[in-house]
Amino acid sequence: MNLKEQLYVCTLARCQTISKAAEELYLSPSALSVYISNLEKYLGIRLFDRTGKSFVLTSIGEEYVIRAEKMLEMKEEFDGLVEKALQKGHPPIRIGIQQRRAISVVPRTLKRFMEAYPQVEVIFRDGPQDVIAEMYRKGAIDFMIAIYRDELPDACYEEIAQEQVLVALPEHHPANAFAYEVPGDAYKHIDMIHLDRETFILPSPTQSMRCTANRIFEQAGIRPKQIIELRHFDIIMSMVNQEMGIGFNRLGYVKDMEHLKGVNYYLIGPDPYCSKLVLAYRKGRVISECEACLLQILKEEIRNNYRV
């Protein structure tokens, strides 16, 4: 629905000068002046009286504007109906996300997105990375937020952040004495060599943090004395809190576990170990406007969790 004529006349009537109206309409003053003159010639009447640089409505011009404003209001209402219809017709947006990360970011993400697109359904499916990766392979989700592992078919990977990995020590563990500060870092550092032949509480072998832990052990040249396997980060950190072993955590998860006062977190080594957090989706996918909005909000909420 194009109401350019009505928009130009109403804007000029409100601004009363060609220069101000043209600036608001993103036109050149000469183009707007020619348009108004041609319109008046076409109608056979003058809509404006010219007084110097001022354009003042004639009596018939006032009648024109009354009706034109109603038309513009109707156009705005109709455009809103069209937008709602398009949103309602959008298929549900399905996102896979690691369970622990979902707890802190999904509620705020949904709240913000629903304010912008109340008619679009969003489905978050959470779980360990191996589970959501399988959902992706089966086509049960459209997007996946996860630690980077180049294992998905025909996937595009967009990096969201470099997420620091922290080692979690019980409050009274003797290795706490080897922690050292690095200017500018929120957490102290510790070298993994001081944790050789210790008991570690780790996720199952298919989970991303277990793969990360194995790489850390390999790079540091250490071996655990014993490994206790559990799938849930909350239980792992609770066991660290109870002095039952050492664990690992991700920076994005730590804020939701601050109630565990008996856990000390440290960055690993002088150059802290990081994992790459990515958004994955299929190659060739055209991302709609509302999907782009949702993904941007999700990225912002994830990054907010890294501010310590």
Domain map (residue ranges) of the chain:
4-88, 93-160+277-304, 162-275
Q: What is the CATH number of domain 4-88?
A: 1.10.10.10
Q: Which two tokens stand for residue 116?
A: 């912008």
Would the CATH topology of 93-160+277-304 be identical to that of 162-275? yes
Question: 213: closest CA among 257, 168, 172?
Answer: 168
Find out whether 130 and 214 touch, Cβ atoms under 8 Å: no
Question: 97: closest CA among 277, 257, 306, 231?
Answer: 277
**Residue spans of the chain under pLDDT 50:** none
Q: Which residue has 């997007």 as its token pair?
A: 143
Query: In residues, how long is the chain?
Result: 308
Helix axes 18-25, 29-43, angle to 10 degrees: 100
Residue 127: predicted pLDDT: 87
How much is the mean pLDDT over the chain? Answer: 91
Q: Which two tokens stand for residue 97?
A: 């996300």
Residue 85: predicted pLDDT: 67
Identify the CATH homologous superfamily for domain 93-160+277-304.
Periplasmic binding protein-like II (3.40.190.10)
Class of domain 162-275: alpha beta
Q: Are strands 247-250 and 155-170 parallel, antiparallel or unpaired?
A: antiparallel
Residue 168: predicted pLDDT: 97
Confirm whether pTM is higher than 0.75: no
Residue 208: predicted pLDDT: 85
- Look at residue 8 and give its three-state secondary structure: helix
Find out whether 198 and 178 touch, Cβ atoms under 8 Å: no
